[in-house]
Amino acid sequence: MIRDGNHMAILEILHFPDPRLRNVAHSVETVGDDTRQFLDDMLDTMYTAPGIGLAATQVNDPRRIVVIDVSDAKDQPLCLINPEILELDGVEEMEEGCLSVPGFFEKVKRADRVRVRALDRNGEAFEMQVEGLLAVCIQHEIDHLDGKLFVDYLSQLKRTRIRNKLEKEQRQNAPAASGEASQRVI
Ligand code: ZN
């Protein structure tokens, strides 16, 4: 972890096929200052990557916490603690990427509209109804909290190909591909 004088912290993001990405996260019981500090660290990490969503599982933390910002100006951070999907509706097929699967983009079919309940950074419960990219993003991030990755929706052949390529890059310590289509890296 790198922390500078402004208490900005960039957390290390795990890459597929790291088995820790399969951990199932635990509910947060009390939202306190440590939770808020962690949310800020996650936002810093997500914006720096850059990505539009990040789940605690991706930075090897066991809490059910997700941060998202799908705005163009990157000024609408959304923090979801203990997120729960209440309703799914419609079908959407969107090309997805993931900060834990760098360099790969594949189409995944998900619900187009989602109603979700969560706690905010003050521990207050709220509900929201969203659609399109934000709905896809929320489903992708909650999957992370359950140890699931977008590559799980692909064929075994595609998943194996991606795993082999990333394992090879990790062995060679090659820098992960980034920068391209960062709008969709969640
Ligand atoms: Zn992801």
Calculate how far, in angstroms, residue 142's C-alpha sits from the geometric centre of ligand 1: 9
Calculate how far, in angstroms, residue 148's C-alpha sits from the geometric centre of ligand 1: 9
For the question of residue 169 being annotated catalytic, the response is no
The DSSP secondary structure of 37-91, one letter per residue, reads HHHHHHHHHHHHTT-SEEEGGGGT--B-EEEE---TTS---EEEEEEEEEEEES-
How far apart are alpha carbons 107 and 147 in whole angstroms?
20
**At 63, which amino acid appears?**
R
Which positions ≥6 away from 73 have C-beta within 8 Å?
Answer: none
State residue 186's pLDDT score.
75
Per-residue pLDDT of the chain in tens (186 residues, 90 and over written 9): 555 556 678 999 999 999 999 999 999 999 999 999 999 999 999 999 999 999 999 999 999 999 999 999 999 999 999 999 999 999 999 999 999 999 999 999 999 999 999 999 999 999 999 999 999 999 999 999 999 999 999 999 999 999 999 999 989 886 665 545 555 677
State residue 149's pLDDT score.
98
Calculate how far, in angstroms, residue 15's C-alpha sits from the geometric centre of ligand 1: 10
Calculate how far, in angstroms, residue 124's C-alpha sits from the geometric centre of ligand 1: 25
State residue 64's pLDDT score.
98
Give me the catalytic one of 141, 167, 169, 180: 141
pTM of the model: 0.91
State residue 50's pLDDT score.
95
